[in-house]
Amino acid sequence: DAGVTQSPTHLIKTRGQQVTLRCSPISGHKSVSWYQQVLGQGPQFIFQYYEKEERGRGNFPDRFSARQFPNYSSELNVNALLLGDSALYLCASSLAGGSYEQYFGPGTRLTVT
């Protein structure tokens, strides 16, 4: 069975640009969560979506936004990129909206120059 997939794998952007990251959950999973992992730190929660509705939002600025599509895939958008947005962005899917049995994708490595 396919796990959580994310695209692209790596991305280099310039300050001020916008970026869109994509995530496909495990088949049958209806919840997707996004986390930011800065080098040397643990992942920090950004968003959770369940059945296309936003279930939760972490302490991130409004430059970060996300959505979930009818097929349960998800996009994370970041506008007006800052150097500090450089990180590994992880997507996790689960059957329902809770934290139990979250399955993580390999992540998208974003570098902002």
Partner 1 sequence: GDSVTQMEGPVTLSEEAFLTINCTYTATGYPSLFWYVQYPGEGLQLLLKATKADDKGSNKGFEATYRKETTSFHLEKGSVQVSDSAVYFCALSDHSGNTPLVFGKGTRLSVIA
Interface residues toward partner 1, by CB under 8 A: 4, 33, 35, 40-45, 48, 56, 58, 90, 92, 97-107
In the complex, minimum distance from the CB of residue 71 to partner 1, in angstroms, rounded to a whole number: 21
Cα–Cα dist 41/3, whole Å = 24
In the complex, minimum distance from the CB of residue 20 to partner 1, in angstroms, rounded to a whole number: 19
Rg (CA), the chain: 13
Strand ranges, E, within the chain: 5-7, 10-13, 19-24, 31-37, 44-50, 53-57, 64-68, 74-78, 87-94, 103-104, 108-112
Tokens coding 52: 């296309």
In the complex, minimum distance from the CB of residue 92 to partner 1, in angstroms, rounded to a whole number: 8
Of 33 and 74, the one with the shorter C-beta distance to partner 1 is: 33
Of 16 and 98, the one with the shorter C-beta distance to partner 1 is: 98
Of 67 and 109, the one with the shorter C-beta distance to partner 1 is: 109
Whether omega for the bond prior to residue 8 falls within 30 degrees of 0, making it cis, is yes
In the complex, minimum distance from the CB of residue 16 to partner 1, in angstroms, rounded to a whole number: 29
Of 36 and 85, the one with the shorter C-beta distance to partner 1 is: 36
